[in-house]
Chain A
Amino acid sequence: MHASLPDVDPLVAGLADAIAPTLTPDTVIVGIHTGGVWVAERLHAMLHCTLPLGTLDISFYRDDFSRIGLHPQVKPSNLPFDLEGRDILLVDDVLHSGRTVRAAMNELFDYGRPASIRLAVLVDRGGHELPIRPDFTGLTLAVPAHQNINLSRLDDGHLTLSLA
């Protein structure tokens, strides 16, 4: 199964090509911890964005908090710009239920009122539970409900996809 998953680098390059014509001077890229930040870092460099990269940890916004508690390693969200009136490109590694994206949008609105939010994901694996769809997709892959698709980063910075 692992062998059939494509390399990540061309997927990110494809995303960057699709995003490039839509960029405005007010566009900021925001990655969702942890995998989404890795992809966002790549896009930020490839698209030569001048505004700093934002990162979100949505642990405080999860809808399953009362069932599973706080994630043991919450990373601070870092949005080093004023969100007011910005075009936000929200980046995550895998779109599944859509709940993470919903939580991320809720958190963004607690920082200010962006002009727009678009969503870029490396993999749309299906299984959506909310009316949330990506604007830019690296790979669409129907993954069975009992399986997970994960992005991991090797010591040399290389990103790989795996099924488990």
Chain B
Amino acid sequence: MNLQLTSDGRLRHLLTLDGLPRAILTQILDTAESFMDVGEREVKKVPLLRGKSIFNLFFEPSTRTRTTFEIAAKRLSADVVNLNIATSSQTKGEAILDTVDNLSAMHADMFIVRHSQSGAAHFIARHVAPHISVVNAGDGRHAHPTQGLLDMFTIRRFKGEFHNLTVAIVGDVLHSRVARSQIHALTTLGVPEVRVIGPKTLLPTGVEQMGVKVFHTMEAGLAGCDVVIMLRLQNERMKGALLPSAQEYFKFFGLTPEKLALAKPDAIVMHPGPMNRGVEIDSEVADGPQSVILPQVTYGIAVRMAVMALLAGGATA
């Protein structure tokens, strides 16, 4: 049984993009498109989720993701409660399902969950009552489906279609839940060539089996690309034996104007944030004309509105 879909094929929870049918991905992107103009109006709200309570359940810190989920829920007229569990009951030893049960007893309709453990959102989704939906807002190294979806929305907005694109994902794929979600979405939507570029130590073994081509140099990997997605190099990884230094990483894999010139002249540059300027990306590129990094953030609101609207309409009332 697919935890994410209802028996009649509607979205029930959003936990991962792995295995979600193309029709659902397209439906989310199309719905997000129709939410785009809500942010431009005098009243930046539609009454779709009026009376629904959405709990932002963040067991791991986040600024951008939590804020865009909050704005998205508010634009749908839902009531939003933000819980920063890292600084709350969990430190007092409350089990995760007890937290969920308590919030369900407060008549929650939807949980947006971020957790450092892979599978946390699945765990909660299996536990909640039938009328409650769960959205994975990032679990460990596993998945970050709404980020993957907003990246697809960004690509579609700037490139129009997927079937003629070459997309490169650059950097720390090993630790990146974003990269996994992107790869699943890109292959499902029919992108013919998905590349990953990075040092051997930062690419998972067997990544080819996800349907990507592997490159270990920017020179080879960026040639002919339409879309270049830079991943955040998590500073904490630098302490291990995976990398010599941030400076050396920048020299080989940092995106500079010179390296970007290897891609197609109209290639777009994306980054899920937060950026390490001077580590994985040069400021000149991040702030340059090919960067669509800030539009990604704006689109994230419409995409998260679409996900929440489809979930609220698909759950059994």
Contact = CB atoms under 8 A, between A and B. Distances in A.
Contacts of A112: 42
A65 B48 contact: yes
Given A75-B34, A76-B34, A70 B43 contact: no
Interface string B44-57: 01111000000000
Assign chain A's interface to a size class.
20 to 34
Consensus secondary structure, chain B interface: helix
A110 B309 contact: no
Contacts of B42: 110-112
Given A110-B41, A110-B43, A110-B45, A66 B34 contact: no
B314 interface: yes
A143 interface: no
B27 interface: yes
Given A70-B31, A76-B34, A60 B47 contact: yes
A67 interface: yes
A110 B33 contact: no
Interface string A48-87: 0000000001011100011111101111110000000000
Contact of A61 (B34, B47, B309): B47
Given A57-B34, A76-B33, A77-B37, A70 B310 contact: yes
Consensus secondary structure, chain A interface: helix
B317 interface: yes
B309 A70 contact: yes
B295 interface: no
A63 B310 CA distance: 15
Interface string A24-58: 00000000000000000000000000000000010
Interface of A: 57, 59-61, 65-70, 72-77, 106-107, 109-112
Interface of B: 10, 27, 30-31, 33-38, 41-43, 45-48, 309-310, 312-314, 317
